[in-house]
Amino acid sequence: TQLLKQSPQFLSIQEGENLTVYCNSSSVFSSLQWYRQEPGEGPVLLVTVVTGGEVKKLKRLTFQFGDARKDSSLHITAAQTGDTGLYLCAGINNAGNMLTFGGGTRLMVKP
Amino acid sequence: EAGVTQFPSHSVIEKGQTVTLRCDPISGHDNLYWYRRVMGKEIKFLLHFVKESKQDESGMPNNRFLAERTGGTYSTLKVQPAELEDSGVYFCASSQLTGYTDTQYFGPGTRLTVL
């Protein structure tokens, strides 16, 4: 049973389109992180959201943490081919030592 | 500054054999973590070291897995004897601090295939 459910699992879009990836949980986490993983590499942290309702922007990426701190979304504006990759959300426990990952969303942006 | 390194990058062994994975954390990082992703599943936490001490090993699947971090520097994860279901990618991560806003830096992973 996945504690963190990501949707969609796969997404294929054209360059220039917008997209949103969702990360939903029945549990409350102290904070939630989004990672991006390239083939043959480990996950690389993009952002950490801590406060319910928090919105963070990283260039064309917008991250939102739900008011109840159970769900989050990642929105990409005007996707580029360089955005292709596996996007992972991960919840962090109170002790701050354990990441609970979602199953990931594999994004392909076609030229 | 060098990142987290893992060795080997790939390992193919037969069921019943022993394999030892190694992780070298970022220099100065007291916290070291092991995670793994088995086929079709999400990345799952295995254990957490603070220096040489096991802080949390709640994710270790069974007693065929033994993790060590002698001297508080690099860590090894031994699987003995390996079973088919142990196949997957084993990630190591390290962090300077432990907290819900701190960053864990991941290595590239070791892909283990058990035949």
**Is-contact A79 A13, C-beta < 8 A?**
yes
DSSP string, B60-87: --STTEEEE-GGGS-EEEEESS--GGG-
Q: Which of A2, A48, A93 sits opposite B42 (nearest CB)?
A: A2
Instruction: Determine the residue type at B7.
Output: F
**Is-contact A103 A8, C-beta < 8 A?**
no
**Is a pLDDT exceeding 80 seen at residue B100?**
no
Residues of chain A contacting residue B44, judged by C-beta atoms under 8 Å apart: 101
Q: Check B100 against A40: CB less than 8 A apart.
A: no
Return the residue in B26, B30, B34, B42 with the most chain A beta carbons within 10 A, the one to mutate for interface testing.
B42
What distances in angstroms separate CA B41 from CA A3, A43, A92, B16, one per listed residue? 12, 15, 18, 23
Return the residue in B104, B105, B111 with the most chain A beta carbons within 10 A, the one to mutate for interface testing.
B104
Find the radius of gyration of the CA atoms of chain A.
13
**Is-contact A109 A15, C-beta < 8 A?**
yes
For tokens 């990952």, what's the residue? A101
Residues of chain B contacting residue A4, judged by C-beta atoms under 8 Å apart: 42
pLDDT tens digits for A78-105?
999 999 999 999 998 888 888 999 999 9
pLDDT tens digits for A40-78?
999 999 999 999 999 999 999 999 999 988 899 999 999
Q: Check A42 against B107: CB less than 8 A apart.
A: yes
Q: How far is A71 from A64, CA to CA, in rounded Å?
A: 8
β-pairing, A55-58 with A61-65?
antiparallel
pLDDT tens digits for B28-76?
999 999 999 998 899 999 999 999 999 999 999 999 999 999 888 999 9
Q: Which of B4, B102, B108 sits opposite A96 (nearest CB)?
A: B102
**For residue A11, what are its two tokens?**
């997404």
- pLDDT value at position A83? 96
C-alpha dihedral, A94 to A71 to B33 to B9, nearest 10°: 180
Q: How far is A78 from A95, CA to CA, in rounded Å?
A: 37
Q: Does B100 touch chain A (CB under 8 A)?
A: yes
Find the radius of gyration of the CA atoms of chain B.
13
Alpha helices in A1-111 (DSSP H): none
Exposure of A40 in the CB half-sphere (CA atoms within 13 A): 2
pLDDT tens digits for A17-45?
999 999 999 888 888 999 999 999 999 99
